[in-house]
Amino acid sequence: MKKTFLVTAILFSTIGLMAQADSSNNTIITITSDTIKVGSISIIKGQGNKNMQVFKQNKNDTTVMFNTDTLQLGRYKIVKSENSITRFNNGWINGEIGGVKIYKTPKKLSDISTNWFAFDLGYANYIDKSPILMYAMLYPGMTMLPNYVTPYNLKLNNSKSSNFNVWIVQQKVNLYQHKLNVKYGIGFEMFNFRLEQPVSFRNDLPSKMEMESISFTKNKLFTKYLTIPFQFSYQSNPQNKRSFYMSAGMSAGYLIDSRNKQISAQKGKQKYDGNFNLNNWRVATIGELGIGGIRLYGSYGLTNLFDKQATYFDMRPITIGLRFSKF
Q: Which helix (H) or strand (E) holds 97?
A: strand 94-97
> Within a 10 A sphere around the Cβ of 11, how many other Cβ atoms?
11
The whole-chain average pLDDT of the chain stands at: 80
β partners of residue 245:
235, 290
Lowest mean pLDDT among 79-88, 217-226, 235-244: 79-88
Please tell me the distance from the alpha carbon of residue 327 to that of residue 115, in angstroms, as a whole number: 7
In this predicted structure, the answer to whether residue 287 has a pLDDT above a threshold of 50 is yes
Q: Tell whether pTM > 0.75.
A: no
Q: Which residues contact 313 (CB under 8 A, 6 or more apart)?
A: 130, 151, 154, 304, 305, 306
Provide the pLDDT for residue 19.
46
Provide the pLDDT for residue 79.
61
In this predicted structure, the answer to whether residue 22 has a pLDDT above a threshold of 80 is no
Total residue length of the chain? 327
In this predicted structure, the answer to whether residue 11 has a pLDDT above a threshold of 80 is no
**Predicted confidence band at 153 (pLDDT cuts at 50, 70, 90)?**
very high
In this predicted structure, the answer to whether residue 48 has a pLDDT above a threshold of 70 is no
pLDDT digits (tens, 9 = 90+) for 309-318: 998 899 999 9
- Residue 240's nearest CA partner among 289, 181, 178, 292 is 292
Q: How many angstroms from the chain centroid is the CA of residue 214?
A: 42
β partners of residue 126:
317
pLDDT digits (tens, 9 = 90+) for 77-116: 666 554 544 444 444 445 544 555 666 667 788 999 999 9
**β-pair type (76-80, 70-73):** antiparallel
Q: Are 181 and 173 a contacting pair, CB within 8 Å? A: yes
For 186, the 3-state DSSP assignment is strand
Please tell me the distance from the alpha carbon of residue 286 to that of residue 264, in angstroms, as a whole number: 36
Q: Which residues contact 129 (CB under 8 A, 6 or more apart)?
A: 304, 314, 315, 316
- Residue 288's nearest CA partner among 280, 277, 279, 298 is 298
pLDDT digits (tens, 9 = 90+) for 167-212: 999 999 999 999 999 999 999 999 999 999 999 999 999 889 999 9
DSSP 303: S
Provide mean pLDDT across the span 122-133. Answer: 91
Provide mean pLDDT across the span 285-300. Answer: 96
Q: Which helix (H) or strand (E) holds 27?
A: none
**Predicted confidence band at 327 (pLDDT cuts at 50, 70, 90)?**
confident
Domain boundaries, the chain: 2-104, 112-324
Provide the pLDDT for residue 136.
59
Provide the pLDDT for residue 182.
98
**Predicted confidence band at 131 (pLDDT cuts at 50, 70, 90)?**
confident
Please tell me the distance from the alpha carbon of residue 166 to that of residue 227, in angstroms, as a whole number: 10
> Within a 10 A sphere around the Cβ of 190, how many other Cβ atoms?
17
pLDDT digits (tens, 9 = 90+) for 268-283: 999 999 999 999 999 9
- Residue 222's nearest CA partner among 264, 262, 269 is 262
Provide mean pLDDT across the span 284-291. Answer: 97
Q: Are 285 and 318 a contacting pair, CB within 8 Å? A: no
